[in-house]
Structure formats: structure tokens, C-alpha cells
Amino acid sequence: MSFFIKKKSASMAAGKGEKSAAGKRKADNQGGKGRPQKLNKRQSEEISSESENENDDAQVRKQKEVEGDEEIEETPQEKKLRLAKLYLEQLREEEEKKAEDEEFESDLIAGRLQEDVLEQKGKLQRLIAEELIAPDPAEIRLLRGHKLSVTCLVITPDEKHIFSASKDCSIIKWEVESGRKVQKIAGGRKGTEERHVGHTGHVLCMAISSDGKYLATGDTNKLIMIWEAATCKHLYRFTGHRDAVSGLAFRRGTHDLYSASHDRSVKVWNVDENAYVETLFGHQDAITGLDCLGRERCVTAGGRDRTLRVWKIAEETQLVFNGHESSIDCIQLINEEHMVSGGDDGCVSVWSVNRKKPLTTVKRAHGLHGDAGLEGPYWVSSVAALHNSDTVASGSHNGSVQLWKCGPGFRGLEPLFSIPLNGFVNSLKFSNTGKFLVAGVGQEHRLGRWWRMKEAKNGLYIIPLRRQNKETMTTEQ
């Protein structure tokens, strides 16, 4: 009995202790007084502000929940409409970008088409002469391999190789970058024509087709040889001229070959079919040079008949031009309607096919002889033109190659700079892009042995042509 009474009184004591502790905490919260403490104004404002922030947060959460419900509740039609608008916007952006690209491409194409039209009309003149910088003599490379004077050369359309020929009757294929010989077709002795594959007479001229497939060479034995340019394999032999073959040119874009000879005739050949086409007559003296571009026509220099002629093959007609005072030894087309010529009167002349007289002439282009016993100007033995531009070059035996700038409308020639080269400059060719000029030099003139320059070296000179950083301009003349 006493056991249970003691336990109960212990539990009652614990309850009183808990009540007293709770009362003490309550009193502390009330500031030690029995009644609630009154809040001051500042405390009530703080409590009000906190409650307002809580309300705002609750409203934001509620709004987000509402928006989420709205997104979730998007109907299939609304979704399709939204995706369709997005797709149309993407298409519009793509079309705008495509239109900009097409406009840029159309401008490029229009520019190219305009140049093509001007080129076909013979009125294209790219103004690059003023950009050219005279090369450092140390940059000029000499390639030697021929025993006698180099008479002619051509550069392949890809500008990777050069073919040259000489009075030693040989043909050499060179690599431009390294300057090494790729292949050599040796010349043969006179009288071995029947068994020797190659030339046995001085090679005076050569030409390469615009696709680089065929190489044609002509010699003093009246023969034209056709070779496969890639392998130097002999393909055909054309006969028909009655004297030395002095000029060859392929019509651009075709395998039609034009040839000129000292027999005063021009012949037309079809290399693909290994066939002769026709013969044209008109010159009164040996033809010394020939050239052509894309039109079905060619131009020739008539030597001592002192005329240039434009042959219209399809119409079987010819135009005659006069202006030089003596033998015309070289000719080159600048574009379809303009050409440059040189002769032993020391003159360099620029012509238009629409005028019978030169547009401009520079007399004594390479100066006068200073040697005792020799009078008159240095002969102009070769000319070259950078096609569809205002830049031409001429060579002689005065020890230099001269570069010229054609004026507007080709009505003027201004000297740019000269490049020192010793010997007879018998052939000059610009690369298609104008990156370099190649000169074929020898101790003797291409067409004769009137005198010899013993100090000269027989070979090829590769002359780099550097430009200033200026944008190339094009004009219509």
C-alpha cells in the first residue's frame, strides 16, 4: 500500500515541476509580468512587412502554378499553330541567308560574264602593269641544256612545265618549280630523217593546245611534228610546206592548228583527225611569225613585205596592215582585237584589227648600236603579251628585256622597267596568270647567223613577276 502511495506522490511532484517550468517560460516571454507585453510601433511595422512579403511570395507561386497549368493545358491546335509559326520563322531566316548568298554569287557571275563578253569582243584590258615590280636579278633562274641557241618555247596551261627547242634540233621539257629536265627529245643529223624520231633541222617554232594535250613543233626541213605533251610520245608528222616552218599556233579550245612558212603560205590542220584542211596565200615574202586566240582567225608577220595580216579562216579573207619600215620579225595577240609587233627597224607597235595603221609605235625601243661599224637601232627579235591586260614585253640583243605598259585604249606605250639578259632574246612568253615571264636566249638570232655573241649563254631564263598589293582593275576599251 505504501509502495503505490509513494509512487503517486513522486509523479505529482514531477507534474508540479513541469507546471512551474512552463509558467516560468511563459513569464519570461511576457517580460516577467503576468499580462501580455504591448508591442511598439516599429516592431509592428516589421511584422507587417514580413507578412506582406510572405503574401507576395505566395501570389508569385500561385501565378507560376497558374501559368504552368496554362502551359500544360495547351490544346493540340494551339501547339500546332505555335510550331508552325516557329517553322515559318526559320524558313524566312534561311531564305534571307540564301538570298544574300545568291546575290553575292550572282555578282561574281555577272562580273565573270562581263569579262567573258569583253574578252570575246576584244575589249578587255586588265590594268596590272602599274602593280608589277622589277625583279631582283638574283631571283632570275637560268636553265641550261641546249647546245645551240634557244629559238622557241611554250608554257603548259597549268604552268608546271616549259617546252623549249633549239638550233641543235632538240626539244626539252622542263619542270618550272625545280628547274630540272623532265624529258629530252634529241635532235638527229641531217640525212637521218627516215629513221630518226624527232627533228633533224633547226626547230624554229612550237605551240601547245589549250588543254595541254598536244605539242606541235616546226623546223627548217619543212616538217611539223605532233607530240603527246604529257609523255613526249611522237604521234604524227605533217608535210606540205615547201620551205621552213616558222610559225605555229593552236586555236584556243580546239585542236585546230595553224602553221606559217617561209613559202609565204598559211595552212590549217586538224590534229585530232591527223588531217590537212586548207592553204591560204597572200604574203609576198617569208612569213616570220604567227599567233591566234579563240576566234577562227590568225595573225601573221610578213617579214620583208612589211605587212601584218589578219586571216579570217571561215570567210577566206584577209586584212592587210602597214606601218613598219623594214622586216617584221615577231607578232603576238594581246586580245582578240589588238596585237603587238616588232621588227629589225627597232620599232615596237600596237595595232587594232579595225585600223590599218598602228595605234602607237615606239621607235628605237631598245636603243641604238654603240659598236663601231654598226648603225641603226637594235632589232626587236621577240614580243610577248599578257593576254587581256595592259602589259607587253619585247626582247632584243642589247642586253635586256623591256616591259611596257599600254595606255588606255592601247593608244600608247610607256616603259615600265628592263631586265638584264645577255644574248639574242629569240622567244618570250608570259605564264597565263602572269606570275612569271620566260625568255629563250641564244648566241645567235633565231632566223639567221649574221653574227654571234660569244659571251651569251644558250638557255631559258625564268623571270618572276611580283605585284604590289593593289586590287586589279578592269576597263572596257
So what's the pLDDT on residue 100? 77
> What stretches of 128-274 adopt beta strand conformation (E)?
132-133, 141-143, 150-155, 161-166, 171-175, 181-185, 203-208, 214-219, 224-228, 233-238, 245-250, 256-261, 265-270
What lies within 8 Å, CB to CB, of 270 at 6+ separation is 255, 256, 257, 277
Query: What does the alpha-carbon distance between residue 81 and residue 157 come to, in Å, rounded to a whole number?
Result: 60
Q: Residue 401's closest CA among 438, 431, 370? A: 438
| Residues 99-127: b if buried by 16+ CB within 10 A, e if exposed | eeeeeeeeeeeeeeeeeeebbeebbbbbb
Query: What does the alpha-carbon distance between residue 373 and residue 370 come to, in Å, rounded to a whole number?
Result: 9
- DSSP one-letter string for 75-109: -HHHHHHHHHHHHHHHHHHHHHHHHHHHHHHHHHH
pLDDT in tens, 297-330: 999 999 999 999 999 999 989 999 999 999 999 9
Low-confidence ranges of the chain (pLDDT < 70): 1-73, 104-124, 370-374, 469-477
Query: What does the alpha-carbon distance between residue 131 and residue 304 come to, in Å, rounded to a whole number?
Result: 37
β-strands 233-238, 224-228: how paired?
Answer: antiparallel
So what's the pLDDT on residue 465? 94
Q: Report the half-sphere exposure of 27 (CA within 13 A, side-chain side).
A: 9
pTM: 0.74
CB-based contact 458:146 (threshold 8 Å): yes
| Residues facing residue 248 across a β-bridge | 259
pLDDT in tens, 158-199: 999 999 999 999 999 999 999 999 999 999 888 787 888 899
- CA 278, distance to chain mean position in Å, is 36
So what's the pLDDT on residue 46? 44
- CA 116, distance to chain mean position in Å, is 15
Helix/strand/coil for 371: coil
So what's the pLDDT on residue 66? 47
What lies within 8 Å, CB to CB, of 292 at 6+ separation is 249, 250, 251, 252, 258, 298, 299, 333
H/E element holding 275? Answer: strand 275-281
So what's the pLDDT on residue 56? 54
What lies within 8 Å, CB to CB, of 440 at 6+ separation is 150, 151, 152, 153, 164, 382, 425, 426, 427, 428, 460
The label of the residue with cell 534571307 reads 96
So what's the pLDDT on residue 94? 87
So what's the pLDDT on residue 112? 59
